[in-house]
Structure formats: structure tokens, C-alpha cells
Amino acid sequence: MTKVLQDGQSLTLALDHALKSVESAQDKAFVQAISYGVCRTYHRLDFILNALIDKPLKSLEVKSLILIGLYQLKYMRVKPHAAVSETVQAARKIVWAKALINAVLRGYLRKQDDLEQQADEFKTAALSHPNWLIKKIEHDWPKQVETILLENNQPPPMALRVNLTKTTRDDYLQLLIEQNLAANAADFTATGIILDKPVPIEALPKFADGWVSVQDGAAQLAAELLDARPGQRVLDVCAAPGGKTAHILEQQPDIGEMVAVDIDESRMLRVSENLQRLGLQAKLIVADAAKTDDWWDGKPFDRILLDAPCSATGVIRRHPDIKLLRKETDIAALTILQKTILNAIWPLLASGGMLLYATCSVLKKENEEQIQDFLSTHNDAIELPITSDEWGIPGICGRQILTGESSMDGFYYARLVKQ
């Protein structure tokens, strides 16, 4: 937690580093559960912590330990005396803090009911989100704001995408039944499955053989909406970690050429690994997508998927550290970046071709307002409406999925055709 709070490191990276020295699978699961739980409930726990101390803590390491202790006392089936003693013991190298940690945690146990009631009356603590984000979601989705925020605080379901070049969804569901893994077909996609309980990927039948991938149902809609045809040249912009690239190839094996571009070399290695596992091929380019002169060969694309960099406010339940790391000022910078990339790659689209714009955000500035602005400044672009009565909410442009709808993450899609 200190790496997240002090260094601004993502929880995923922090855990990857921290768990390398942990051998027990049970201990790894426990550490991961606490880390994700503290991030999900951070704003509530922080409110309670501040109510129990006279002045703010300067040491983020000590603060992290107290938050971990409070989380165990409030949300986990850990005996109170064990949670207190183990948290105090974890501070053995910070001698001065041991008495403080012990006093704060025991103070919480004495005043728990009163403190929880106070937290319920303070919006940021009650909803466990930063105030700026609550306000933005209230502004964009006044009727759905409470549902969105509550869904953000829930653990996400584990969704799978079946590789239809290897098997059928029904046959894979049967494989899961044979492994005593309860699951159901996901709504609105031909390839999606929702597991009743998350499992390690090693437990998934034929995972190593490329029969299945882990991918949220909302993200699986991208390949279907892009609708690549045989012989077409397809571009996936900001492609890492490659789930959508792979799905496009699985859905249309007769694509003429698949090109995937991403600025992050390490993340592009994951694209390569995923494609190799699935038995798929694409041309992978590490480059700044907006600087097309550096990487484009001058041949137009019939289909372009732009999975634009965004606030990721639609996937907070998967990455709860977003609530700690994302800042209000980030939104303006992200919308500028989205606009820059969109304007840069539009000339790469062939006449009559289609560009699918996607984000995992629920904020309208990144989504329908971004596309509305683009259409107003590009006379050769028209919107191809997404006319689905099954999922999402139609906007001024495109269609928005809100977090938790049919077990899906928050996603936005808009289709643009070049006249």
C-alpha cells in the first residue's frame, strides 16, 4: 500500500513486486485480498483513521499499516486480537509506531458503531470515492450515480472469452462443468462466459492451448462492433495487452492484415505472448500512435479500433487504486490526448472504412462529447449508430455501458465511417 500511496505506483505493479518473495499460495491470496480491499474502501477507512488521531500521520508506511488493520477488523474474518497483534508486529522496524497502531486499532474496536455512523453521514466516506469523482459522475449520470459507485466497490466477476477457432462456447461450458467450475454464458456476446467464482488461470481447461482468454464482456463487444471482413486491413491502436487484437483475429481469421500499435514496449511483449498462446499472428509496432510518420507505411486501413487512453473510471472495480491515483486534472489532459490520437489516425482510414472509438470510462467528456466534437470538425466523418436495445445507453453519439450492467465493466463505443 505504501508504494501506491507514496510512490503513485499501480496496485498491480506493487503486488507483482511484493508477492515475488511470498511462496505460499494462501499467503499470496491473503495479501492480495487485503490490498485490493484497502483500495476499495480507502476513503472510508481514511475518514475513520482521521477521526481516531489528533493530527495527520506523516509516515505513509504507518498509515498503510493502520488502514490494513482497520480493513481486517471491519471487513475480514480475522479475530480482532489477531488483527491488532499482527498489524502491530508488522511495524517491528518502526518502534515508535507500535504503540500508536495498537491504540488506534483498539480505539476503533471501542468506538466502532459510532465511527461507522459518522462515516455513513460523510459522502466521500459513505461512498468510498474521492469527492471530485463523485461530482463528475453525479453530473453525467444523476439517476445512476449511486448504482455506479456501489458497483465500483464490488469485486468484479471473472469473465472469459472462448476462442471460436478452437471450440464452441457450449463445448467449453461443458469442459468447465467437468472441472466442477460453475459458469454461465454471458449476455450480448457470442463468446463470453461468466464464472460463478474467480479461479487462477491455470485452473481453466485448455488455457495454455489457447482455447480461452480472460476478458470482460463489455470489451468483447469491440470485435463484433468492428465487424472486420475477409481480406480487410485492420489497425488496433493502443493495442496492449492485446485482448481485442486477438478477438478480432479469432472472429475473422481471413483478415488480410492485422496491425497492432502501442507506445509501451513492455506491454507490447504481453500482446506477443497472448497471440502466441492463441496461435494468432499480427504485425506488432511499438510507437507513438499519434506520430504516424514514424510507423505508418502509407497503406490505408479498412477498419481501425482506437481503444483510447482514458480515466479508466469504468473499470474501478478491477483496479480500485484508480480512486487513489487518478486526479481531477488528469481528465482534461486525457481528453486532449484522445483528440490528438483520433485526429492523427483518421487519415489512415480508407474511404468507406470504419473506425471504432472505445474507452473504459463513464465520463461524457471522454466519450460522447469527444466524438461530438470530432464530428463537428471533420466533414468526411459520419456516425454509424449502434442500434442495440439489449445493452448500453444511447448518447448524443455512441453508446455507453455503465459499470455492473449485465456483469459488464463500464465501456463506451462509437462507430465513425469515412465518406
What amino acid positions are annotated as catalytic residues?
360
The amino acid occupying position 9 is Q
Greatest CA separation found in the chain? 70
Of the candidates 128, 152, 131, the one whose C-alpha atom is nearest the C-alpha of residue 41 is 128
Evaluate whether 402 touches 141 at the Cβ level (below 8 Å).
yes
Strands (E), 199-243: 212-214, 233-237
**Distance (Å, whole) CA 355 – CA 346:** 8
Strand partners, 379: none
What are residue 301's DSSP bridge partners? 349
Q: Say how far apart CA 227 and CA 252 lie, in whole Å.
A: 8
- How far apart, in whole angstroms, are the C-alpha atoms of residue 211 and residue 344? 36
Cell output for 43: 476513503
Cα–Cα distance measured from residue 335 to residue 356, given in angstroms and rounded to the nearest whole number: 17
Q: Cα(367)–Cα(319) distance, rounded to whole angstroms? A: 20
Q: What is the CA radius of gyration of the chain?
A: 23
- Length of the chain, please? 419
Give the whole-angstrom CA distance, residue 87 versus residue 69: 6
- Among 18, 279, 14, smallest CA distance to 163 is for 279
Alpha helices, DSSP H, located in 200-327: 217-226, 243-251, 265-278, 322-325
Three-state secondary structure readout of 328-385: HHHHHHHHHHHHHHHHHHHHHEEEEEEEEEEECCCCHHHCHHHHHHHHHHCCCEEECC
Distance CA 406, CA 403 (A): 9
Rounded Cα–Cα distance for residues 11 and 13 (Å): 6
Q: How far separated are the first and last CA of the chain, in Å rounded?
A: 51
Residues 242/274, Cβ–Cβ less than 8 Å: yes
Cell of 282: 499480427
